[in-house]
Amino acid sequence: MTGLDAALAASLAGVRASGRYRSRRTVDSRERGTTRLTIDGRAVLAFGSNDYLGLADHPRVTEACVEAARRWGIGSGAAHLVSGHCREHRQLEEALATFTGRPRALLFSTGYMANLAVIGALAGRGDRVLEDRLNHASLLDAGLASGARFARYAHCDASALARRLSVDAPAGSRTLVATDGVFSMDGDVAPLREIAALCRARDAWLMVDDAHGFGVLGAGGRGSVEAAGLTPDEVPVLMCTLGKALGVFGAFVAGSENLIETLIQRGRSYIYTTATPPAVAAAARAALAIQADEGWRRERVLAHAARFRDGARSLGYALLPSETPIQPLVCGSETAALAASEALLARGLWVPAIRPPTVPSGRSRLRITFSAAHEDADVERLLDALAALRLPGLRG
């Protein structure tokens, strides 16, 4: 064993001992139109996906992907600025801009890359980046990598942000405030109206990462910004992903002409990355049309979440303040969360255990997520299991 391997083996042993070692499970098959999977040879009912609207295997989305693959092939072949930007990408960007009510949209391969591009292009040495302490890792990493003065404020605490903003920034510097719209591990929604008002008062730019709100929240499914009644002027930078509610892959940033052109010129993770396959763009455009036309999908998934909350509370479980499809059940320790996940798996229910560093120490949890593809009976089956098992998270 080399010195490198020995050092890595010792480090991995420490991760195992802490209860934070992560292992992948293999999905062998999926029953179309449902959340029933076969994982490592075992049939399960899954409550661990971000496919909130049940579009990942929708026939129209699949067919759009297949037809585009026949026309364009599989790979895009190059970065957008070389020769990888095709008509499918352009049409999807135009559709996303129209849907979000913004002049332009720009596609990215992932939300992580989008966030790196935005914060790196808008803030640098001498500027300030202020973020919610429970933001997604991609936002936090982007803030740290930007070279700007980086600070976090207490979770969903507009007063804490106000205190940060009250400290005068150096003359000529910029202040960028970045927050998740819906927080991926807690499922709660940022106080966007209060944050937007603070940003206007202090001449700060506001960026919202709405990966988990887009397609689910708002009267038209446009996300947490729409639900908060905010305009593009109040939230000039909007980042959303295509691999959650739309069930496909990729991400986009929507905003003004000048914002998008700035990202094209200065967004390193845009400039130096191969464009997503044209077939994926075609599939995303089909999914966008379906979610816009079929509002019942949003109503259904939110109804499942409400049904679960009512049932879990009646069983005595303590829940976090989330009205979204993300319903965490905090277990405490890593071992408790793992044991709870395994107990549910033994009953044919797949609910992943989430542990540090994804969540704070002592806040390991089951991250229960719902989809429009679930049936009412699926929710009841989960509640029956929680009643029988009496997992950590019971009050008292």
Q: How confident is the model at residue 225 (pLDDT cuts 50, 70, 90)?
A: very high
Question: Could you tell me if 269 and 318 lie in one domain?
Answer: no
How much is the pLDDT for 168? 79
Rg, Å, the chain Cα set: 21
Q: Are 325 and 370 in contact (CB under 8 A)?
A: yes
Cβ atoms of 287 and 247 within 8 Å: the answer is yes
Confidence of residue 169 (pLDDT cuts 50, 70, 90): confident
Question: Where residue 167 falls among pLDDT bands split at 50, 70, 90?
Answer: confident
pLDDT category, 393, cuts 50, 70, 90?
Answer: confident
Q: Is 258 in the same domain as 349?
A: no
Last residue of a domain, one of 261, 293, 325: 293
How many angstroms from the chain centroid is the CA of residue 251?
A: 10
Average pLDDT over residues 251-272: 98
Q: Are residues 188 and 262 in the same domain?
A: yes
231 lies in the same domain as 110:
yes
Q: According to the model, what pLDDT value does residue 292 have? A: 94
Last residue of a domain, one of 276, 293, 310: 293
Q: Give the DSSP per-residue string, 27-59.
A: EEEE-TTSSEEEETTEEEEE-----TTS-TT-H
Q: What is the pLDDT, as a whole number, of residue 181?
A: 98
What pLDDT is stored for residue 323 in this prediction?
A: 95
Q: What is the rounded CA–CA span in Å between residue 23 and residue 21?
A: 7
Split at pLDDT 50, 70, 90, the class of 165 is: very high
| CA atoms within a 13 Å half-sphere pointing along the CA-CB vector of 337 | 27
The domain in which residue 114 lies consists of: 59-293
Evaluate whether residue 12 is within a structural domain. Answer: no
Confidence of residue 390 (pLDDT cuts 50, 70, 90): confident
Share of the chain above pLDDT 90, in %: 92
Domain identity same for 244 and 310: no
Say if residue 210 is in the same domain as residue 265. Answer: yes
Instruction: Identify whether 10 is part of a domain.
Output: no
Q: What is the mean pLDDT of the chain?
A: 96
> Which residue, 281, 274, 253, is CA-closest to 121?
253
**What CATH number did the domain enclosing 154 receive?**
3.40.640.10
- Is residue 119 situated within a structural domain? yes
Mean pLDDT of 314-327: 95
At residue 391, the pLDDT reads 84
What's the rounded mean pLDDT across residues 243-258?
98
pLDDT surpassing 80 at residue 43: yes
**What is the number of structural domains in the chain?**
2
pLDDT classification of 394: cutoffs 50, 70, 90? confident
- Residue 313 within a domain: yes
Is residue 16 included in any domain, yes or no?
no
Tens of pLDDT along 275-293? Answer: 999 999 999 999 999 999 9
User: Which segments of the chain does DSSP mark as H helices, in order?
Assistant: 3-18, 59-72, 87-100, 111-122, 137-145, 158-166, 192-201, 224-227, 257-266, 268-271, 278-293, 296-315, 334-346, 376-389
Q: Are residues 306 and 267 in the same domain?
A: no
Residue 47 has pLDDT above 80, yes or no: yes
Whether residue 122 is found in the same domain as residue 44:
no
Average pLDDT for 85-114: 98
191 lies in the same domain as 316: no
Percent of the chain scoring above 70 in pLDDT: 99
The neighbouring-strand residues paired with 108 are 251
Residues 372, 286 share a domain: no
Q: What is the pLDDT at residue 197?
A: 98
> Is residue 15 a part of any domain in this protein?
no
Interatomic CA distance for residues 330 and 394, integer angstroms: 9
In which residue are the tokens 């510097």 written?
A: 173
Q: In this structure, are 303 and 343 located in the same domain?
A: yes
Look at residues 232, 267, 293 and tell me which one is the last residue of a structural domain. Answer: 293
* Residue range 376-387: mean pLDDT, rounded: 97
Cα separation, 96 vs 239, whole angstroms: 11
82 and 229: one domain?
A: yes
Over 90: is that where the pLDDT of 349 sits? yes
Q: Return d(Cα 71, Cα 135) in angstroms, integer.
A: 39
Decide if 4 is inside a domain.
no
